[in-house]
């Protein structure tokens, strides 16, 4: 934990809950749409984005792959973010 918040590493296939929410916003996707595109349950996406739990590395990778396939680029520097490339 950092400053009372759960630590979500930024390397590899990982991302923060904020990045996931922002990426969905760029795509105008619901949590249900992201779950469907990732082949995961909606509760997995919802709990991750609310910071309730950190999904397995495989599930995080599935979420990230779905978002990247739709045109989202992850920025993993000092201030992690996302941008739309398409």
CATH number of residue 64's parent domain: 1.10.260.40
Decide if pLDDT at 12 tops 90.
Answer: no
Residue 21: domain span: 17-84
Helical residues (DSSP H) of the chain, grouped into ranges: 17-27, 31-38, 42-49, 57-69
The confidence score (pLDDT) of residue 4 equals 42
What CA–CA distance (Å, rounded) separates 76 from 9?
9
Model's pTM, two decimal places?
0.83
- The one-character DSSP state at 51 is T
Query: Could you give the dihedral angle defined by the CA atoms of residues 47, 38, 35 and 86, in that order, rounded to the nearest 10 degrees?
Result: 110
Among 36-40, 52-56, 74-78, the minimum mean pLDDT is found in 74-78
Average pLDDT value for the chain = 87
On whether residue 72 sits in a domain, the answer given is yes
Q: How confident is the model at residue 57 (pLDDT cuts 50, 70, 90)?
A: very high
On whether residue 67 sits in a domain, the answer given is yes
How many separate domains does the chain show? 1
Q: How confident is the model at residue 24 (pLDDT cuts 50, 70, 90)?
A: very high
Quick one: which of 21, 7, 17, 11 has its CA closest to 75?
11
């Amino acid at each position: 934990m950092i400053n009372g918040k759960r630590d979500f590493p930024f390397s590899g296939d990982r991302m923060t809950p904020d990045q996931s929410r922002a990426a969905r916003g760029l795509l105008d996707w619901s949590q249900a749409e992201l779950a469907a595109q990732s082949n995961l349950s909606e509760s997995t996406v919802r709990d991750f984005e609310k910071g309730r739990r950190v999904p397995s590395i495989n599930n995080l990778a599935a979420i990230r792959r779905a978002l990247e396939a739709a045109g989202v680029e992850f920025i993993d520097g000092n201030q992690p973010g996302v941008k739309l490339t398409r």
